[in-house]
Amino acid sequence: MSPSPTDPRAVATAVACYTLWGLLPLLFMAMAGAGFAAPEILAHRAVWSVFVAGLVLLLAGQWGEARAVLARPRTFGWLVLSAVMIATNWSLYVFATTHHATLEASLGYYINPLLNMAAGAVLFRERIDRLSGVAIGLAAVGVAIQTVALGHVPIIGLTLAITFCAYAVIRKRVAASAQTGLFVECLVLLPVGGLFLAWLATHGQAVGFSSPAGLAWALVNGPATVIPLVLFAWSARRLPLSTVGFIQFLAPTLQFACGVWAGEALTPLRVVSFVFIWAGAGVFALAAFLRSRAARQAIRETAEPA
């Protein structure tokens, strides 16, 4: 049975997933306001995610898969590389949202699906149709205008898009479920995060261990990291890619709103750049919808008796 684009539970789960991802800047902004520096936030995210991801594996009965992955050097090596990519992405995202660059971060996640499409064409010989090419072109114009508006290349946005695209490409090659992959990645990052937190604690600089409130802020990073991924994995199996492709733009839209709410500079030229980005995202969603509709029509015609 093919996925249904109107499965209400799957749609609601996907919306919840991307809403949580879109509102994540508010958590990091609040932690920064409570005295957390970006590196400590990242360390807590790496450490506490291991425990939540481990609980998810236990509930899903996937501990056997995790042990198998750890016993395969090649698979484990790919996940070490994906851990480096996601750690770089997390680091830059936490830095951006705690240093008044959330708007630029949202730019990265708007263009990420388009970059994924371009990477698919280059690395996996996937076909780019005319509408998809238009979407990539509009996004490229938006990035160029953003460069003029900022006075420099939007390095944060582009690096976020590139690292997450690289992460997706690596994970596409790894024979491991989303939950197992995340657990192994967090396990790889655990020593670095743990050692850094230990260093902060010995120097009296660990905000997360300074009070019950600080510890509560630190601990929330675990579920905030893992829960959206679990929701995504569940909904993505039950929805067509076109539906997921449309809903995914909810996250950068909410990130953009968080940046505006936080008072980040939004000049007229920068607005124009985002108009091109939004247009590219809209064309991308339209192209995905048309491809999905054509595929469903082909299936129906094949199923009809001669």
- Give residue limits of the domains in the chain: 8-303
Q: What is the mean pLDDT of residues 211-240?
A: 86
Retrieve residue 176's tokens.
Answer: 């491991």
pLDDT tens figures, 28-57: 999 999 999 999 999 999 999 999 999 989
Confidence of residue 1 (pLDDT cuts 50, 70, 90): very low
Average pLDDT, the chain: 86
- Lowest-confidence segment of 46-50, 81-85, 109-113, 125-129 by average pLDDT: 125-129
- Residues with Cβ within 8 Å of 226's Cβ and at least 6 positions away in sequence, in order, are 49, 52, 53, 56, 182
Residues 6+ apart with CB under 8 A from 298: none
Q: What is the pTM of this model?
A: 0.84
Three-state secondary structure call for residue 177: coil
> Cα–Cα distance between 77 and 250 in angstroms, integer?
33
Q: What is the pLDDT of residue 83?
A: 92
Element containing residue 206 per DSSP (H, E): none
Which of 150, 177, 18, 166 minimizes the C-alpha distance to 96? 150
Place of tokens 């604690």: 201
pLDDT given for residue 184 in this prediction: 92
